[in-house]
A = this chain, B = another copy of it.
Amino acid sequence: MNEVMNCALYRDGIRVRDLDFNHLDEVPNAPGQLIWVGLLEPDAATLAVVQRRFGLHELAIEDANHAHQRPKLEVYGDTLFVALRTARREGGYVVMGESHIFIGRGYVVTVRHGPSQSFAAVRARCESAPKALAKGEDFILYALMDFVVDSYFPILDEIEDEIEKIEDEIFTDHFVPKDIERVYELRRELITLRHAVFPLLDICTRLTRYDVPLVDRDTYPYFRDVQDHAIKANDTIDQLRETLSSALEAHLLLSSIRQNEVTKKLAGWAAILAVPTAIAGIYGMNFRHMPELEWTFGYPAVVAVIVGACGYLYYRFRKSGWL
């Protein structure tokens, strides 16, 4: 069965041996012992095995069956169900996955959905620190949550870089319609990330304040640390969203200023060029009796008038900043 990524038995923080997932039922409970099962997009049958062995609540199993949960912490008797949203950036786009964690006395079950990162790194880190691992199931929960939260930061850094480039373009007038589409996409991604991060604050608060089973007082600072990172991720997201809004607003203002300048220039040159057209039009009329046409210096005089009028207008527009 390909969907079982990991299934091992730990005693006092040390990995004892791998278990055969299909014979999980035959492993009895024992104090100081921990079974850690990792599943990837399991089918209903696989989940049923887990449910039977560890006595999980039907609603939690239902949640784990369907992805698209929002991050949440649910307490069923003395077991915990935690749903987290994981993020990865592929080809410049954020893609979201999900991880569901069941924690009970003596076991941890993780279920991954979608494009999430493997928890192998977390397992390796835990196994390399048997003392910490021996603290129990709550410490594994902390390690998993810490891993998920920390995975948001490189993504946020990349988005921040992109936003900085967009800012530069706005103020150097190289901003094109394509950029607006990109801003729009970035906004959506930030909203998606926010929906992944924000519920974590409440989850951590509940893990450290409320009467939650399994979580030891000593682990509280660790969950508060996760919460702190989540708050930081959340603040960064809010700040990036504000930056985008504010950049678009700056663009709109600049655009309005520039539009205004163009309109003024247009109006100015139109006025200047309309003068020779109008005057020349008059002396282009075919009336028989137009005395000025006979004058020897009629033509230079009219040209002088035209040049003078245009020059005066140019001077006036220049002074008032239109040209």
CA distance A277 to B262 in the complex (A): 22
Question: Are A253 and B252 CB-contacts (below 8 A) given A271-B273, A277-B277, A288-B293?
Answer: yes
CA distance A303 to B30 in the complex (A): 102
Closest to A247 in B: B184
28 A-B pairs (CB sep. < 8 Å): A59-B222, A69-B228, A70-B231, A76-B221, A167-B184, A184-B246, A188-B246, A195-B239, A252-B253, A255-B256, A255-B260, A262-B267, A263-B263, A269-B270, A277-B278, A278-B280, A280-B281, A280-B284, A281-B284, A284-B285, A284-B286, A285-B293, A286-B293, A287-B293, A287-B299, A288-B294, A289-B298, A289-B299
**Among B255, B271, B289, which residue has its beta carbon within 8 angstroms of that of A296?**
B289
Q: Which residues of B contact A253 (CB under 8 A)?
A: 180, 248, 251-252
Closest to A274 in B: B273
CA distance A262 to B70 in the complex (A): 46
Against B, the Cβ 8 Å flags (1 = close, 0 = not) of A66-89 are 001110101010000000000000
Extra pairs beyond A180-B253, A259-B263 (10, CB < 8 Å): A74-B228, A175-B257, A252-B256, A258-B260, A259-B260, A266-B271, A270-B270, A277-B278, A277-B281, A286-B286
Q: Which residues of B contact A76 (CB under 8 A)?
A: 221
Question: Are A263 and B262 CB-contacts (below 8 A) given A247-B184, A280-B285?
Answer: yes
| A191 contacts B by Cβ under 8 Å | yes
Against B, the Cβ 8 Å flags (1 = close, 0 = not) of A230-266 are 0110010001001100111111111111111011111
Against B, the Cβ 8 Å flags (1 = close, 0 = not) of A292-304 are 1111111100110
| A39 contacts B by Cβ under 8 Å | no
CA distance A260 to B299 in the complex (A): 39
Copies of this chain in its oligomeric complex: 5
| CB of A161 to closest CB in B, whole Å | 16
**Among B70, B175, B235, B294, which residue has its beta carbon within 8 angstroms of that of A235?**
B70
Q: Which residues of B contact A246 (CB under 8 A)?
A: 184, 187-188
Q: Which residues of B contact A176 (CB under 8 A)?
A: 257
| A177 contacts B by Cβ under 8 Å | yes
| A90 contacts B by Cβ under 8 Å | no
Indicate if the CB atoms of B302 and A298 lie closer than 8 Å: no
Question: Are A283 and B283 CB-contacts (below 8 A) given A274-B270, A274-B277, A277-B277?
Answer: no
| A282 contacts B by Cβ under 8 Å | yes
Closest to A183 in B: B250
| A15 contacts B by Cβ under 8 Å | no
| CB of A128 to closest CB in B, whole Å | 15
CA distance A48 to B121 in the complex (A): 26
